[in-house]
A = this chain, B = another copy of it.
Amino acid sequence: MGAKRITVVIDTMGSDRGPETIVKGACQALLDSEDLDVCLVGDKDAIEKAIEDNKAPKDRIRVVPTTEVITNFDHPVMALQSKKDSSLVKALTILRDEETCVGLVNAGSTGALLVGSMMFLSKPGERVRPALAAVLPAEKGGFVCLVDTGANIDCLPSMLVQFAHQGSDFMKDMYRIESPKVGLLSNGAEETKGNKLVKETHQMLKEDKSINFVGNIEGTNALSGDCDVLVCDGFAGNQVLKNSEGIARRIITDIVKYSKQTGKPEFMALVQHLMATYDFNSLGGGIVLGVDKPVIKAHGAANESSIRNTVKMLVNLAHNKNIYV
């Protein structure tokens, strides 16, 4: 493995903070992994300016200039078909065509990334809908892969079963968990609890011997770590993800206020400690599952350290996959 080099493709365009933040995050990631090269796609001048100010190893950076950008206001399918010189189309093409490319990071339009991933990275004839997963820190330690978090809002039971497999495969590759525990999000732990979708899915998961199904998980324990993969439709998953973010942000804000009111600045160390666990933005991004090569959707407002973490995830995944193969 030592001599083999890998490349992560980074679409530098379309994020809230502009290409500079993305490029700087990518440069930081280069310092984490000796065998990593990055391919930066987007506005040439902006990218080169951001690299210049930087002590990153220039020989490990490739710049691919493009002239178009796909934004949140574009229709995903139409934009992918018409904007041939967009950073996303170019980045996906490079990822698909070059064997050493092990993954892609993008902080732009989620819809275009999902559709593009399916168009460029699905096996021909295979029409698996990609899912968007989030990897969140579990209360008992380790991580929970929540799938789906919003790519598939209205789901059939068969789709939830697919999510179970995709999440399970991902957790095997990413964290080398031999037999990931798969839970089904419900409104109670008992088998009889759930809406129509959950009840039907429960029976299918129970009969599926190729995954390690541990039953229903209720909201209180969504991120407890009772399971490695938590399966739900994209509407419910979006609630869990965003509600957790919202409550954590609120409590942390509360502590900052309390610290000021009581005149006890030592509480700020606690705030730092909590931010390290509960600031989901800095932890990485959404992972597109169900496609040939891993694609990560970073938060639109991702900062440098968030981009660095997403690249690190892709590098880890590549390393682990090589070991498995």
Contact = CB atoms under 8 A, between A and B. Distances in A.
A77 interface: no
Contacts of A224: 246, 250
Interface residues of A, number: 48
Report how many copies the assembly holds: 2
A153 B195 contact: yes
Interface string A237-248: 011111111111
Contacts of A245: 219-220
A273 B247 contact: no
B255 A242 contact: no
Interface stretch (A6-14, A39-47, A264-272, A303-311): A264-272
A265 to B, nearest CB: 12
Contact of A239 (B185, B258, B267, B277): B185
Given A235-B236, A239-B236, A274-B251, A246 B258 contact: no
A254 interface: yes
Interface in A255-309: 255, 258, 262, 264, 266-267, 269-270, 273-274, 277-278
A154 interface: yes
B241 A219 contact: yes
Q: Which of A236, A243, A244, A270 has the most CB of B within 10 A?
A: A243
B240 A239 contact: yes
Contacts of A262: 269
Interface string A99-134: 000000000000000000000000000000000000
A242 B223 contact: no
Interface of A: 139, 150, 153-154, 185, 187, 194-196, 198, 218-224, 233-236, 238-251, 254-255, 258, 262, 264, 266-267, 269-270, 273-274, 277-278
